[in-house]
Structure 1
Amino acid sequence: MCGRTACTLAPDEICKACSVLTVTEDGKKCYKPLQWKEHPGNYSYAPSYNMAPSRITPVIISEHHVQGTKRDSDDETVPPQRIIQPMMWGLIPPFYKGSAPTGHGLKTSNCRFENIEEKKTFKPSLVKGQRCVVLCDGFYEWQTSKGGKNKQPYFVYTPQPKGIEIWNRESWDKPNVWNEEEGWKGPQLLKMAGLFSYWVSTEGEVVMSYSVITLESGKEYSVIHNRTPAILETDMDVESWLDFGHIGYKEALTVLKNEMEITWHPVSTAVNNSRNQEPQLNAPISLEKKPPQTASSKLMATWLSKGSVKKGDSTPIKKESLEPKEEPTEELEEEPKEELKKELKEELKKELKEEP
């Protein structure tokens, strides 16, 4: 499933990250950013490290779904252009009548692949060719522990080029991150197959919304969760999914698969609350737990730190200085002082008495 994402790039960066290789009239090859279209209603996209359903996020659709879009070519054999159109996450059912787009009360952020042709919420969009590609840095998923009590969040994303950490903007935000000759050299966005719809409120407001298609997880990803978004890995996958004019929905559905090349790492449980928006929410953390330090172990650590250096010297001893030498440069205390010995014994006795 997919219930929370990170989408941190600005509109112009997203357009460049989705650049397509084109050929000019004089035969020159160059990369061209996609066009950004604002939402038709009173909604706008804002980058977020913790994007929840009902928020506005960027998706790619075919130019044929956008009125007034001018084509570069009149050749019908040329694949339609791609347009980036921000939409509300959570498809508004076509049968819903109300004044508020979220008033229907249904959970539509995801739609299951297995019954997508049967659900009256999603089938109209499928039949009309209203297919889209949902863009994000990656999505969050919660792995349930064996006992079923604790859930550890993970950040799932597409493998990145060497040297790029998608959670670390400083690793890629350079002056030459994009140019016409080489295209986008920043983080690779995750692309998920979805369906979208147009909905008009009783007040006459037009709202575009979408749902992410999910499948049963493949063997590798099933260790995290039993459902996975339908991820489009290649440019050909994206083209086939969007080209509803030449590829019917039944054929397009065969493109979707649950085995794909993705990666993930554990993140802080701070992501559990969608109000948290810290920049490090999608950064990796360690799950190794350090054993609690007892009073005696703290005291021993204090003694070791005192015995590792000369009195009045705050410089730690290097590893090689502990090896035997002909002329030792430092005098190391091999035995704790009598008062420390006594304190250690007393602390150990105290701990033994307190153990159940």
Structure 2
Amino acid sequence: MCGRTVLSLSKEQLQCACSYKSDKTNKYVKAEWLHEHNDGKEYIPSHNIAPTDVTPVLVSANKYRNGAKNEHVLKPMMWGIIPPWHMEDYRTHKLSTNNCRLENIKSSRLYNPILRNGGRCIIVVEGFYEWQTTEKTSKTKQPYYIYMPQEEKIEIDECTTWNNTFEEAEGWKGICLMQIAGLYNVWQNEDKVIYSYSIITMDSNSTLSWLHHRMPAILNTQDQVDAWLDINNVEADMALSYLKPITLLSWHPVSTLVNNSRNKSENCNKKILIDRKKTTQKTLNEWFNKTAKRKSDDNDCSEHKKAKQ
């Protein structure tokens, strides 16, 4: 699954990071930013993005203007698709739509029509958080930050090392963003229009199965990105075939500060050290202390019995 993401780049930086090579000029063009009013919510850079937050999502420009070949645009959308049949307050539909399972999309009353109508998008993030569910002995689930491998000297949790630049000849240089396949829909009632999306998830492979049994559908190549967004030439079933579990990922443990979605600061994705040896030793010490205490209590009882005799 995927329940929290990170995107701290500004609007202008993200337009550069999502640039594409123009077929007309052979130069890199910044992705256009298309504004929409999502009930007054706007994109706010954050180190702890939660469902119902608004984030920029990459979509094909063909949806908004004819003849826009291989052009991509960014649109702010709310995380968590609003079912099109829900006509009351959009916050009261009570369905869990933050993630959609890849294996269930074609049989879904909600997701299959959206897929068939070209509602394919890419959620652009710096990384996402996942809580370890495979460690059954731990009382608390350890959160991890998962992200794409970075160039040498770039530290994902230290923005001063990113050296982000953009040039028309070479495009974006700097932090390597993660691109996750998703579905989006436009919901509206009498007075609101809201764009909302769901992240597609799949069974984890050996890369992340130690952490969690589900993982997002991450697009790792330009061919995957182009095919997923090319709604005019790549039909739905073919597009789904491009979604494969990724093998090259990086991660590190983070503080439980991220557990609270109200915590949005840069401290959320900072790397922490987990001293497992110390934890084990502490457990052993506690065991020996308890054993020693039991022996002491037994001796006290024996002395008490002798005194009574």
Give the structure-1-normalised TM-score: 0.75
Query: Structure 2: how far apart are the matches of 1:162 and 1:280?
Result: 22
> Which structure 2 segments of 5+ residues have no match?
283-291, 297-309
Equivalent pair of 1:231/1:260 in contact (CA under 8 Å): no
Change (3 A) 1:185 1:199: same
Offset, 1:289: 5.4
Deviation track 1:152-206 (CA, whole Å, cap 9, x = no partner) reads: 00001111111111221100246xx2222222111111100000001012x3211
| Distance of 2:138 and 2:277 partners within structure 1 | 23
* Partner of residue 285, structure 2: none
Residue pairs, 1:197-276, within 5 angstroms: 197-201=185-189, 203-276=190-263
Match of 2:87 among 97, 100, 107: 97
Name the CA distance, whole Å, in 1 between partners of 2:293 and 2:269.
45
Q: Any idea what SS the aligned residue of 1:224 has?
A: coil
Q: Is the 8 A contact 1:233 1:260 kept in 2?
A: no
Does residue 128 of the first structure (1) align with residue 117 of the second (2)?
yes
1:106 match:
95
Q: SS at 1:191's partner residue?
A: strand
Residue 104 of structure 2 corresponds to which residue in structure 1? 115
* Aligned residues of 2:20 and 2:72 also touching (Cα < 8 A): no
Q: By how many angstroms is 1:123 displaced?
A: 1.3
Higher helix share: 2
Q: Deviations over 1:279-328 (max 9, x none)?
A: 1211211001585999xxxxxxxxxxxxxxxxxxxxxxxxxxxxxxxxxx
User: More relative contact order in 1 or in 2 (CA 8 Å, sep 6+)?
Assistant: 2
How much does 1:19 deviate?
A: 1.4
Secondary structure of residue in 2 paired with 1:237: helix
Query: Residues of 1 paired with 2:67 and 2:31: CA distance?
Result: 13
Indicate the percent of aligned positions where both proteins have the same amino acid. Answer: 40
| One-letter code aligned to 1:179 | E
Structure 1 residue ranges without an equivalent (≥5)? 73-78, 295-351
Say what the alpha-carbon RMSD is for the aligned residues. Answer: 2.2
**Structure-1 separation of matches of 2:191 and 2:112:** 24
Q: Is 1:57 aligned to 2:55, yes or no?
A: yes
**Rounded Cα–Cα distance in structure 2 between residues aligned with 1:54 and 1:4:** 11
2:151 equivalent to 1:151: no
- Per-residue CA shift, 1:110-165, capped at 9, x if unaligned? 00011111111111111101100001110000003232532000001111111111
Structure with bigger gyration radius: 1
In structure 1, give the amino acid aligned to 2:197: Y
Structure 1 residue 24: Cα displacement: 4.8
Equivalenced residue count is: 284
Matched residues in 2 for 1:281 and 1:214: separation?
A: 23
> Superposition pairs for residues 164-203 of structure 1, below 5 Å?
164-173=154-163, 177-201=165-189, 203=190
* Distance in 2 (alpha carbons) for counterparts of 1:232 and 1:97: 33
Range that drifts further, 239-248 or 140-149: 140-149
